[in-house]
Amino acid sequence: MSLADSVVHAVENVAGVFGVAAHDWATGERLSVSGDRSFITASVIKLPILLAALDQVQRGALRLDDRIELEAGDRVGGSGLLYEFDPGVRLSLRDYLTAMIVVSDNSATNLALRLVGVAQVNAYLDSIDLPDIRSHRPIRYPKRLPGDAPGIGTATPDGLVRLLDRLIEQSILTPDLCGLAVDILKRQQYMDGIPRYLPEAVVVGHKDGWVNDVRADAGILFVPGRAPISLAVMADSLTDPREWPDHEGFLGIARISRIIYDAWVEGGE
């Protein structure tokens, strides 16, 4: 059975649509299974928002150490902690970007979008030839406003892997800023998707997301003693209504991630 067939087989009993893309930097091998299909990203869009904000830091428009007040319009419930803080809290931009990824803080995300701008995030993505990743709007909670796009972002798995590849090769930011982005991604606290079934020695820098019938995860697998693997798995049209760690969408993402790891790492030894 081919690797693509094994990936399809891993989720054939899950009611939903999956898309997968991966790139093994050790061999150059690539995988794409419905990788050109556009999916709602949920919080995975926070990865390109992070990189767009760091691009503004590189350009001198923003500074990581600037302390910025969280405004009332930024604050929104859902994931994260800043919504629970007293109004007027002032943290550094670095702190907000870290919270946006590490605990998927929605208020920190809205602050980043206020500073950078949705249009500028998309302009940044266009500048690095990634038109298949789009930021659409700030986060609303518990539901979007009339006229809002259905999701806060859309992307293809292929596009997300190309974005991760550019981060690995340090072609989109200075080495220091690429290193900062990877360090923040490695500290993400939600481990229900890509990392779930991988060996403990594998460090994953990633951003996951979930909303309604969507589950997604995109990240870099840092495997000791070899070059990394970039990976994105996205799913929609899922029928399990529960928001819990053992959601069938996240379990499917985890199975696919382990299959790719076994094929490219264990199978290559």
Contacts of 105 (CB under 8 A, 6+ apart): 79, 80, 81, 82, 96, 99
Torsion of CA 201, 209, 186, 81, to 10 degrees: -130
Among 206, 36, 29, 8, residue whose Cα is nearest residue 130: 36
Please give the pLDDT value at position 267: 85
Q: What are the backbone dihedrals phi and psi of residue 152, each rounded to the nearest 5 degrees, phi first?
A: -75, -15
CA-atom Rg of the chain in angstroms? 18
Domain annotation for the chain: domains and CATH numbers: 3-266 (3.40.710.10)
What H or E segment, with its residue span, contains residue 203?
Answer: strand 203-211
Mind listing the pLDDT tens digit of every residue in the chain (269 residues)?
999 999 999 999 999 999 999 999 999 999 999 999 999 999 999 999 999 999 999 999 999 999 999 999 999 999 999 999 988 999 999 999 999 999 999 999 999 999 999 999 999 999 999 999 999 999 999 889 999 999 999 999 999 999 999 999 999 999 999 999 999 999 999 999 999 999 999 999 999 999 999 999 999 999 999 999 999 999 999 999 899 999 999 999 999 999 999 999 998 44
**Residue 238 burial by CB count (10 A; 0-12/13-18/19+): exposed, middle or buried?**
buried
Instruction: Kindly compute the dihedral angle of the four CA atoms of residues 82, 83, 88, 94, in this order, to the nearest 10 degrees.
Output: 30
First to last CA, the chain: 19
Q: What pLDDT is attached to residue 269? A: 45
Q: How far apart are CA 47 and CA 134, in angstroms?
A: 11
> Are 49 and 114 within 8 A, CB to CB?
no
Reported pTM: 0.97
